[in-house]
Structure formats: structure tokens, C-alpha cells
Amino acid sequence: MELRSVIRLLALSASVFAPGVLSAFGYTSSGGNYVIDAGSANPLVFSVSQSSCDINSIKFRGTELQYGSKGSHIGSGLGSATVSISQISGSSKYIKVTCVTSTLTQYMVVREGESIIYMATYITAQPSVGELRFIARLLPDKLPSEYPYGDVSNTNGASSTVEGSDVFVVNGQTRSKFYSSTRFIDEDSHCVYGGTDLMHVCIMTPQQESSSGGPFFRDIDSNNAGDSTNLYNYMNSGHVQTEAYRMGLHGPYAMQFSRSGIPSVKNLDVSWFGEVSVTGYVPASGRGTVKGTATGVQSGMQGVVHWYNSAAQYWAKTSSNGAFTSPLMKPGTYTMVLYQTEFKIATSTVTVSAGQTATQNIAGTFSTSRKTLFQIGEYDGQPTGFRNADKFLRMHPSDSRMASWGPLTYTVGSSQLSDFPMALFQAVNNPVTIKFNLGSAPGAATLRIATTLSFTGSRPQATVNGWTGPAPSAPTKIDSRGVTRGAYRGYGEVYTVSIPAGKLVAGSNTITISSLSGSSGTTFLSPNFIFDAVELYTA
């Protein structure tokens, strides 16, 4: 090899791997891969298989981060795809990788000078290669730690399992990838990090308009599984699924590489995405918005407005005076829902047109014109304040850090809210007992039991001073574990029990609430439901 060729190769190597030096933006073909250089000051060079679309090498600042035996990919890997690459000039320079199968197209885009892999996933059917998710499989010795919830999903070094193959015991604590989840409405960036350079690799999703589940849906974000550290973007998931999957374009979303801390999605610019010809992408000019005022939200709770149809979903929090403005939305007619925190209190419809702002107010209709004899919890769509509600998102109900599940007895006027269980498991703490005193017999009354999620058809059966109320109908089935995976959000059934006059008496009264189900199970996989609020009232 000529001396000048050697010098050129050495210079190229230095430019690619030396920190703080802009590397050469571009791509080459090597060994059945496209090798893409982002041309960034903190060099990012990654390789994409020309046959499978797997990312099988990621070098950031010269350090290999990709786990060796499995690639980073959609689902569990496309297996095979038609993979092409192009360089595009617009407001910046871009390199776009396009991977096409019969029902799915995966896009990966880099913008010159940025250590970011932008992605988008277009589908016409739910993929046969598993759940619609992107998973980055990274080296655990380089990226051992997780943000924002630390070790709750670090299953490395597990000594046993609690449930199937996805809840593990590590140093006496239960861990699971499911415990890394964050509500969509709260999602910013989730990351894995570590190493002497304290490198961060973060997934950011500016919006989840084509996912399903609404603003309060949550799913796996990350986990250190020992052999690899995994970073996810779940798009269509069967974990506590309450909506049909949405087709179309999922994204853009991004995997960002950083040494300067944790990036925020608020600073992620994807306004240029229309320049790179992505199927299904709708630019800002082709969208509209909804604004208005929400009323009827209980004081102290957050108002949330949610819009959805079969193609898209959006949400916005209300201001202190109830005002709201939606994100930019695709044109169409939407169901419009108002929640107080997560409890549904109103439903309407609205039509969105491109380039237009629709004004649509919404008013909560949850009745307050009643005489409450007692209330346990708040109608917020969450098990807020109940026993173990402060723990279950990040640990299994069997964890030793959990307080005893009971069976418990709650005495109105003297018990703490934490004396009432957040969930009622048929084989663990069934029933829960409520004791209370009345100054006089109230006549006919109503017992309202608001729930957030049911497992295997469980619903509440009430007994009042020995009188058993009618058995409620089974709720809509959700074919998924819930509370043991840190989930609580289902359809939010509210059950009312009409108590005839003469059943409640002056003085001491007792109500028991049991789990009723035609199914069975052991311990925490027995039929169960999660409480939102329990109220006894008269008209």
C-alpha cells in the first residue's frame, strides 16, 4: 500500500474515533453492512445489515456499544428485508436507511453533525415478528445503569423467579423489565448509561400518536438483563391492551448518544422529517389543533383532555383555569374525553381540519349532588394512598418491602387510608371489611365501588350487614396480567350497589367487599381488581 494511502486511512480513523473531532459524514458498504458515519463531534458510527435491517455495530466515541450476538431491531428482528440507503440534501444533509417488508417499513435517518439515530416505523398490519417495538441490545459492561428508575428493572444476577420468566429476585428484591415503565403523558427520555466516559444512550418519543392505550398507558422502557442492557420504544403492545392496534406511521422517535447528561425530548427537533420522504409522515402544515376550556374537574386534580380515533391519539393537560390546546393533530373526527387525573368525567366529539384551530369546550358530568356517608379514596382513576400503592409500580406484590396485604379491616373515622388495600386478590386478602357508625338509619342508599383494572374477570361483590348485593356482571376481559407487572390502568369500571331501606342501621354497620370471578388462580395471580374509590351515599 502506498504511503499516502496509509496516511489517509490513519487520518480517517482518527477523525472517526477521536473525541471532539468532527468525523466524515457519509456511508460505505462493507461485509454485507451499510456503515454510516454521522459526522458528529462525538463520533457516532453504526452498521446496518443489508439483508436483515439489524443494527449490528454501534461505535460512539470509538467504543463499541452493540451487544454482539443479537442486533438492535424491530420486534425480535425482521429476519429479512429489502434494505436500501441514500444521502439526501435539504435544510441539512441526511442519510436514510429504508428497510421494507410486505407489511412494515423501518426508517433510520441521521442528520449531519448529530449523534442521533432518528427512526420511524410504518405498518399496514401488526408484525408477525413479535410486538411492535424497537429494542436496542447494548453491552452491559459499558451501559449497566438505567434512568429514570435505577435498578428496578435490573435483573442481572437473579437467584430465582417469582412469576413465569419475567419477574426475578435479585438480592431479595423483585425486579422486572415491566417496572421501568412510564405513563405516555409523562414520557420524556429514558436512558441507559455508564462507563468511564459516563455515556448515555436515550430513547425519545416526541409523540405516540399511532400507538394505542391513551395518555396513561405505560410499557417497558429498559432493563439490564445481564447478557445485554436493553432499551425499548414500545409502539403497539399487548400488555394490558385496551384499544385496537393502530396502523400507519409510528414516529419519528430517536436514539440519542450523549456524554453531556440526559437529553430532553423538548429539545428534539423533528420538524425537518418531511424532507426525507417517509411514508405516512404528516407535516405541521397538514395538521390542525383543538383549543377550549374544561370544567368540572375536582379541585386539586389535574385535568387531562384526550382525543382519539382509529388512526391517532393525542392528549393535553389543562391549565389552572381549565384552558387547553391540543398538540398538532391529523385531520379527522375524534372522540374527546376529559379526565380528572385519570378518572373519566366527560365525553364529546370534535372534528379537526388541516391548518385550522377548532374550539371545543368540555364539561365534567360526574355528579356531586349527593349526601356522602363515607368515602375511601378519591375518584382519580388511580389507587392513590391505598396500601402498597406507593410501591407496586416498581415491585411485585410478593416483595418483602410490601406492607401486609391482609385481609384488612378499615374503620371509618379512625383508620388511615393506607389501612385499605389498593388491590383485592381472591386468594390473598379477600375480603376487605369496612366498619362504620351511623347516627340514624338513612333508608335506601348506594354503595359505589370505582375500580381501575380487573384480572380474570374479577369484580366486587358487596355484603351489607349480612345482606348480599346482586352479583355484578363480569367486566370486559383484558387478556393480560396487571398489578404483578406494575400496571393499574384498564377500563375503569364503576359498580353501584343499591342498598334497600332497612339494611343500614343506626349505630354499628359492616360492609365486606369480596372478589367475585368465575376463574381461579394462586396467590397474586388469583382473580383480582384494583380500587379507585369506595363511597356510601344517599340521594
User: Cα separations (Å) of 98 from 24, 388, 395, 427?
Assistant: 21, 47, 39, 51
The mean pLDDT of the chain is: 94
- Report how far Cα 190 is from the mean position of its chain's Cα atoms: 11
Residue 276 has pLDDT above 90, yes or no: yes
- Fill in the amino acid letter for 537: Y
Q: How many CA atoms lie within 13 A of 393 on its CB side?
A: 14
pLDDT value at position 22? 53
Higher pLDDT, 182 or 20: 182
C-alpha 400/C-alpha 262 separation (Å) is 32
- Per-residue pLDDT averaged across 426-443, rounded? 98
pLDDT value at position 212? 95
Q: Count Cβ atoms below 10 Å from residue 188 Cβ, excluding itself.
A: 16
Helix (H, G, I), strand (E, B) or coil at 58: strand
HEC string for 129-176 = CCCEEEEEEECCCCCCEEECCHHHHCCCCCCEEEECCCEEEECCEEEC
pLDDT in tens, 512-522: 999 999 999 99
pLDDT value at position 215? 98
User: Cα separations (Å) of 274 from 88, 120, 247, 279?
Assistant: 12, 12, 19, 10
Nearest of 224, 347, 250, 256 to residue 296 by alpha carbon: 347
Domains of the chain: 3-276 (2.70.98.10), 284-363 (2.60.40.1120), 371-538 (2.60.120.260)
pLDDT band per the 50, 70, 90 thresholds, residue 2: very low
User: Cα separations (Å) of 516 from 27, 388, 460, 479, 513?
Assistant: 61, 22, 6, 17, 9
pLDDT in tens, 147-200: 999 999 999 999 999 997 899 999 999 999 999 999 999 999 999 999 878 899
Cβ(110)–Cβ(118) below 8 Å: yes
pLDDT in tens, 441-454: 999 999 999 999 99
pLDDT in tens, 366-420: 877 899 999 999 999 999 999 999 999 999 999 999 999 999 999 999 999 999 9
Residue 13 has pLDDT above 90, yes or no: no
Residue 129 has pLDDT above 90, yes or no: no
What are the phi and psi torsion angles at 32 (to 5°)?
80, 15
pLDDT band per the 50, 70, 90 thresholds, residue 431: very high
The CA dihedral of 274, 277, 281, 282, to the nearest 10 degrees, is 50
Q: Count Cβ atoms below 10 Å from residue 493 Cβ, excluding itself.
A: 20
- Per-residue pLDDT averaged across 434-440, rounded? 98
DSSP label of 36: E
- Per-residue pLDDT averaged across 308-329, rounded? 98
Beta strands in 9-159 (DSSP E): 26-30, 33-37, 44-49, 55-60, 63-64, 73-74, 82-89, 93-100, 104-111, 116-123, 132-138, 145-147
What are the phi and psi torsion angles at 153 (to 5°)?
-115, 10
What residues does 348 pair with on adjacent strands? Answer: 336
pLDDT value at position 169? 96
pLDDT band per the 50, 70, 90 thresholds, residue 69: confident
Residue 16 has pLDDT above 60, yes or no: no
pLDDT band per the 50, 70, 90 thresholds, residue 23: low
The percent of residues in the chain predicted with pLDDT above 90, rounded, is 91
Residue 306 has pLDDT above 70, yes or no: yes
pLDDT in tens, 326-346: 999 999 999 999 999 999 999
pLDDT value at position 260? 78
pLDDT value at position 262? 93
